[in-house]
């Protein structure tokens, strides 16, 4: 999740900005607070939207 937070900070994005990528604001909060794991679809969406390498998303 650190890779997501880091990229969000670099791009000046908030949780609200990535909510659609992670199936809503509540889900985004759960993901960023490590209360829920990423799904394959979320990993693909984050890779495409934030340009985070798949390896960084899978290992987090």
Interaxial angle between packed helices 40-50 and 2-11, expressed in degrees from 0 to 180 and rounded to the nearest 10: 30
pLDDT range class, residue 1, cuts 50, 70, 90: confident
pLDDT digits (tens, 9 = 90+) for 22-48: 999 999 999 999 999 999 999 999 999
Mean pLDDT computed over every residue of the chain: 93
pLDDT for position 60? 60
Q: What is residue 59's predicted lDDT score, i.e. its pLDDT?
A: 79
Residue 10 has pLDDT above 70, yes or no: yes
Q: What's this model's pTM, rounded to 2 decimal places?
A: 0.87
What are the chain's domains? 2-58 (1.10.260.40)
């Amino acid at each position: 999740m650190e890779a997501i937070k880091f990229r969000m900070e670099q791009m000046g994005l908030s949780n609200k900005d990535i909510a659609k990528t992670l199936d809503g604001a509540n889900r985004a909060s759960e993901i960023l607070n490590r209360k829920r794991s990423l799904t394959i679809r979320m990993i693909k969406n984050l890779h495409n939207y934030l340009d985070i390498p798949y390896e960084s998303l899978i290992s987090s």
